[in-house]
Structures are given as C-alpha cells and as structure tokens.
Amino acid sequence: MNEKIYVPSTSEVITPNDLLSYDAIYSNGNILANDPEIEGAHIHSCCEVYVNISGNVSFVVENNLYPISSGDVLITRPNEVHHCICHEDCIHEHYCVWINAGGKLLSMLDCFFDRNNGESNLIVMSESDKKLLLEYLSKFCVEKGKVNRCDPEALSGFFGLLQLLEKYRKNTVPAKKLPDAFENILRYIDDHFDEGFSIGEIANEFFLSRSALCNMFKRYLNLSPSKYIEAKKLARSKQMLEEGESVQKVCYACGFSDCSYFVSVFKKYFKVTPYKYGKQSRQ
C-alpha cells in the first residue's frame, strides 16, 4: 500500500499523520479443497475487507466459524487471526481490500474496531446494496496490473465501500456454533499459549490422543493445532512490540523458548525482524 491519500476536511485541520492508504485485488480462479498452498491462519497490520462472489468457503476469525454466501462481506482488523476454508474444489471469485488509516481519519474505520475481537465479522447487505457494492469494488479492484488509487473514479468506489460498511456495520450474522468440547480446547489455548506447552500436553489435558486433537482441528478449522497456536503467538508478539517491549521479553512472554527461532518465524511471516517491526511501528 504505497499510495497515501490526504482526505480534506472543512471542519478540522488535517496533519501529515492523518493518512489513508489502501490496496485491493479481484480474484477469480480455481481452488482445491485442502490445497496446501491456501494461506493458513494469519494476521495483518491493516484492516481487511473480503467480499465473496462465488465458492463454497467459510472463514475462521479467532475462535469463530463463519459460513460465507455470495455477496457476504467479512471484515477483520489488525492482528485478528483469520483464514479461509475451502470445502470443495470450486471457482473462488472474490474481492479483497486492505486499508490503513491514521490520526483523525482512523474514525473512518470504526466498523472494524467498534466490536469485540473475533465477533461481528460477517456483514450482510440488502440485494440492491450488494449490487451497489460490486459497482464500487469494480472501480478500484483489478485482477492484474495496477490501478491508480488516487484516480477520482477509484476513490469514489473506495469511499462508496466505506459508506456501505458504515451503513451496515450493525447488520452482522453470528458465527456458527462450534461443539462445546472444542470451544473449551480453544479457550484453554487462548489462556495458556504463552506457556510453551506441546500438542501432546494439550491432548492430555482434555483426555484425548494427539491424533484425535489434530482431527478436531482439521474438521472444524481445517488447520493443525500447531499452526493455530503459532498464529496466536505471532499476533500477541506484534501487539507487544508495538507497545515498546523488547524482543527478548516478547519472545518468552509469547511462549517461544528460543529467541533466534522467534526472530526467524517472525521474519518469515512479516518480512521484517521483530526489532525493526517494533521500531517502525512506533515512529
């Protein structure tokens, strides 16, 4: 997201820190169920908007599972762990938009932040506004090449998207209920992932075999327990680094037993070392 947009205001002064940036893609390709190339649980440093057109998919956000239908809109904010589940071989047509805002302009993204973590992620619009949404997206989302993000036509589509998200921010669909036994496991991991336990120890805690635990994660989240835990650790590590904590403190507080391993995993996911990320996030 290289383009920075200054949004004029007649009522208050806009400073250089009041920036809005965005990027977007349109995708329409075949995907295979259980394809190892599909991105697993991950987090962003920005807000994300996913709009489904076709494809038998669901989304997991934190510990919640959202079945997705055509025209549905799924939103996530920075550091919300999420991933897409593909239930069958299909054509997965969709839009993705990534948004950053700072200063006074952060209020434009209230729909992303004015809710509990992992809740109210799935937004449903009227049929007429679904059509309007696609019109807006088509103005600035492209499959190949680059669109000028500051082009008036693209900007009108982008701000139209923000207006629709604000209009429907309370029109959300609850997540699908997961079995109580599995929710208890997820809650236990949330409360203890910083303790550096093994998958076998979690299984023992709930009187399960390791394979039974892995099968539960595969069935409900299409994810391994280790990948789920790693994503949780990385999300927390980003937050601590943004708060100014040292790399060493973050490493051990997030359940990593070795700093060099923590640095390598962090860099693999975010293309920057924890030290540089922490320094950049506080500038």
pLDDT in tens, 4-35: 333 333 334 444 566 788 888 898 888 877 66
Structure tokens at 114: 């004015």
The pLDDT, as a whole number, for residue 143 is 65
Whole-number average pLDDT of the chain: 86
User: In the 8-state DSSP scheme, what is residue 25?
Assistant: E
Could you give the CA distance from residue 70 to residue 58 in angstroms, rounded to a whole number?
Answer: 11
Greater pLDDT, 239 or 102: 239
Q: Position 75: which residue type?
A: I
Give the closest residue to 44 by CA, choosing from 233, 238, 175, 229: 238
Closest C-alpha among 169, 144, 150 to residue 49: 169
Cβ proximity of 59 and 82 under 8 Å: yes
Strands 20-31 and 64-67 turn out to be unpaired
Q: Are strands 57-61 and 122-123 parallel, antiparallel or unpaired?
A: unpaired
Q: In this predicted structure, what is the pLDDT of residue 148?
A: 67
Kindly give, in sequence order, each residue whose CB lies less than 8 Å from that of residue 219, ignoring residues fewer than 6 positions away: none
Q: What is the predicted pLDDT for the residue at 14?
A: 43
Least confident of 23-37, 124-138, 208-222: 23-37
Of all residues in the chain, what percent carry a pLDDT higher than 70?
Answer: 89
Given CA atoms 116, 119, 125, 131 in this order, what sign does their dihedral have?
positive
Judge if pTM exceeds 0.85: no
Condensed to tens digits (0 to 9), the pLDDT of residues 245-277 reads 999 999 999 989 889 999 999 998 888 999 998
**pLDDT bucket at 106, cuts 50 / 70 / 90:** confident
Q: Kindly list the distances between the CA atom of residue 52 and the CA atoms of 34, 57, 91, 133, 266, in Å, as whole numbers in the listed order.
A: 19, 9, 11, 11, 30
- Cα 225 to Cα 40, 215, 233: the distances in Å are 12, 9, 12
Whether the pLDDT of residue 146 is over 70: the answer is no
Buried/exposed code over 6-23 (b: 16+ C-beta within 10 A; e: otherwise):
eeeeeeeeeeeebbbbbb
pLDDT digits (tens, 9 = 90+) for 29-73: 888 776 655 667 888 889 999 999 999 999 999 989 999 999 999
* pLDDT at residue 237, rounded to an integer: 92
Give the per-residue pLDDT at 7: 38
